[in-house]
Amino acid sequence: MIALSFAHSGTGGGNVESIALALGLVLLGLAFLVQRSLDRRVSILLVVLGLVAFVGSFTFLKNVGGGTTITVQGQEFEEEELQDAVAAICTARNEAATDPEAAQMAFLDRAHLPLHVIAAAVEDEDRALSGDLLEAKQAVEEEFAGTADPEDLVDQLEELLEVTVEALQVLEIPASTC
């Protein structure tokens, strides 16, 4: 796997495809603007590089720097993002007894949205499991919404962890408990 680090992607705003698209457009625009002031060979090089980056963003650079993706309701999600939900649930479970607020932040920041995606993805193959996942997620959210009892919260997160791992296994996405 190729791991590239760009300033824009560090904020969650870019991936290799979008950066290549932007680079291609910039190079093509630059070639157009400087075509008369630079050597013709430089302009041709800028056009060629711009076209390669532009076309590459839609073809051979697709998923470079990223893992396998899964398409859910027309949107692509990286398997790593869905697997990270398991790690976030583990973090939340480990912090629940001593710091329920930190547990809630870990859950909301990294697990909440991926759990919706996992439930939607598994729904066609196992509707009951999808429902179990959403019910377990709801139970955790209700525990966070009230005055969280640490023991109940740990139990709810453990149940959510188990059903999430089971759902990922149905989707053939490698996952294990903490």
Tens of pLDDT along the chain (178 residues) come to 334 434 333 444 456 777 877 887 787 777 777 777 777 787 788 788 877 887 877 776 655 555 677 878 878 888 888 999 999 999 999 999 899 899 999 999 999 999 999 999 999 899 999 999 999 999 999 998 887 688 899 999 999 999 999 999 999 998 887 8
Q: How many domains does the chain have?
A: 2
- Residues 44, 125, single domain; the answer is no
- Residues 163, 96, single domain; the answer is yes
Q: Whole-angstrom Cα distance, residue 100 to residue 149? A: 9
- Sequence-distant (6+) residues with CB within 8 A of 97 are 150, 151, 153, 154
- Residues 74, 52, single domain; the answer is no
- Residues 74, 104, single domain; the answer is yes
Helices (H), the chain: 16-34, 40-56, 79-96, 100-110, 112-123, 127-145, 150-170
Q: Whole-angstrom Cα distance, residue 82 to residue 174? A: 10
pTM of the model: 0.62
In this structure, is residue 4 part of a structural domain?
no
What is the predicted pLDDT for the residue at 46? Answer: 79
- Residues 91, 41, single domain; the answer is no
Domain of residue 91: give its range.
69-170
- 76 DSSP assignment: E
- Residues 73, 47, single domain; the answer is no
